[in-house]
């Protein structure tokens, strides 16, 4: 690293810290969800299974370093009642999604829509023509191979544990995730910041949170009847949970994305559209999270009566309640952001943060 590179990196780190402090000071006292939550007692066992999986598929030496991000801690908050096997599966899926996210956020893959679409297509199908044998192309081909192999393992384990309707929902959610990544790439290629409503429509799906939510049933040892997957109330609750989870991520990653110049962040788009300060935009983002939380709670409260109109049995009502409670538990993973280096929390503690 040259002296100039070192200086630039130092300035970026200072800016990152400064923006992070501004955002966190504005939002932590207003946060509408607990930032301390129940964690899964099987975390230690699941973490060893997860690390073994990362090494098996050679995902430990990549730029996002999933093994250093303690993703089993994320899933231990999100799925506090899952057994060790399901918790490890959730951590593996989360790592895979982080890996894809990092490739799109920081690499050339996410800069052009055709590159994004080609990469997505290649996840399931090898390129039809031989890749040129230069070092860069060979490395890219080898990377794709690791991603494909690790996903094949995930898919096999998921299909073993999911009912056919659950698997259909999961693959549908995965497709919407890929579409959202391509939409973000189109924005970067055109060098435009999306309007707020357009951004929220993309952001709902761009993290893969809906794929993680497909593990909620497994995590609470329940199974919804097939017809529930066709109800608008089911999709509404999934969407509300995704919105809260992804907007939460945006608040905690605002500093990182501000420094990187990535426009795909709720706080930064609110700041641009309203012409307000970063602090004011962060507060407005929290207000939107709180409003969406109320929407989610209202939808959950209406679920029993809706199911009764469909002739749901007491067993189905209980399963639906366990699933809805699992969605609430999933949102507790926000506790992981505090103090985590990826998001440059400024050493804030969780003391006194429970609303």
The predicted model gives 40-50 an average pLDDT of 97
The CATH topology of domain 14-343 is Farnesyl Diphosphate Synthase (1.10.600)
Task: State how far the Cα of 282 lies from the Cα of 248, in Å rounded to an integer.
Answer: 10
pTM, rounded to two decimals:
0.88
pLDDT at 5: 43
Task: State how far the Cα of 303 lies from the Cα of 242, in Å rounded to an integer.
Answer: 18
pLDDT at 68: 53
- pLDDT tens sequence across 290-333: 999 999 999 999 999 999 999 999 999 999 999 999 999 999 99
Higher-pLDDT residue of 19 and 288 is 288
- pLDDT tens sequence across 163-202: 999 999 999 999 999 999 999 999 999 998 999 999 999 9
Task: State how far the Cα of 254 lies from the Cα of 231, in Å rounded to an integer.
Answer: 34
Contact assessment for residue 206 and residue 181, using Cβ atoms and an 8 Å cutoff: yes
Question: Quick one: pLDDT band at residue 12, thresholds 50, 70, 90?
Answer: low
Contact assessment for residue 294 and residue 279, using Cβ atoms and an 8 Å cutoff: no
- pLDDT tens sequence across 273-282: 999 999 999 9
Q: Reply yes or no on whether the pLDDT at 132 is more than 60.
A: no
Higher-pLDDT residue of 168 and 258 is 168
Question: Quick one: pLDDT band at residue 62, thresholds 50, 70, 90?
Answer: low
Higher-pLDDT residue of 77 and 22 is 77
pLDDT > 70 fraction of the chain, expressed in percent and rounded: 84
Nearest to 255 by CA among 25, 2, 8: 25
Q: Reply yes or no on whether the pLDDT at 6 is more than 80.
A: no
- pLDDT tens sequence across 187-245: 999 998 999 999 999 999 999 999 999 999 999 999 999 999 999 999 999 999 999 99
Q: Reply yes or no on whether the pLDDT at 266 is more than 90.
A: yes
Q: Reply yes or no on whether the pLDDT at 158 is more than 70.
A: yes
Question: Poorest-confidence range of 58-67, 82-91, 154-163?
Answer: 58-67
């Amino acid at each position: 690293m040259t002296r100039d590179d070192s200086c630039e990196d130092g300035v970026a780190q200072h800016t990152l810290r400064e923006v992070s402090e501004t955002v966190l000071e504005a939002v932590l006292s207003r946060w509408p969800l607990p930032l301390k939550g129940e964690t899964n007692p099987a975390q230690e066992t699941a973490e060893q299974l997860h690390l073994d999986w990362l090494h098996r598929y050679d995902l430990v030496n990549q730029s996002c370093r999933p093994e250093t991000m303690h993703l089993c801690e994320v899933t231990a908050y999100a799925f506090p009642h899952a057994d060790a096997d399901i918790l490890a599966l959730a951590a593996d899926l989360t790592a895979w999604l982080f890996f894809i996210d990092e490739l799109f956020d920081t690499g050339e893959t996410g800069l052009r829509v055709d590159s994004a679409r080609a990469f997505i297509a290649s996840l399931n199908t090898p390129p039809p023509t031989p890749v040129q044998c230069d070092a860069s192309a060979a490395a890219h081909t080898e990377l794709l191979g690791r991603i494909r192999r690790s996903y094949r393992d995930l898919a096999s384990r998921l299909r073993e544990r999911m009912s056919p309707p659950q698997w259909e929902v999961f693959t549908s959610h995965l497709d919407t995730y890929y579409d959202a990544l391509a939409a973000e790439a189109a924005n970067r290629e055109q060098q435009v910041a999306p309007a707020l409503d357009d951004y929220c429509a993309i952001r709902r799906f761009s993290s893969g949170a809906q794929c993680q939510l497909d593990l909620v049933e497994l995590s609470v040892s329940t199974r919804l009847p097939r017809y529930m997957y066709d109800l608008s109330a089911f999709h509404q609750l999934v969407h509300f949970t995704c919105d809260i989870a992804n907007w939460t991520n945006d608040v905690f990653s605002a500093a990182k994305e501000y420094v990187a110049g990535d426009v795909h962040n709720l706080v930064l788009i609110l700041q641009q559209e309203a012409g307000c300060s970063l602090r004011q935009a962060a507060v407005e983002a929290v207000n939107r999270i709180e409003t969406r939380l109320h929407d989610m709670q209202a939808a959950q409260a209406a679920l029993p009566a809706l199911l009764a109109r469909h002739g749901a049995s007491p067993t189905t009502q209980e399963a639906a309640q366990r699933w809805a409670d699992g969605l609430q538990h999933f949102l507790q993973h926000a506790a992981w952001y505090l103090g985590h280096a990826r998001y440059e929390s400024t050493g804030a503690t969780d003391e006194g943060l429970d609303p």
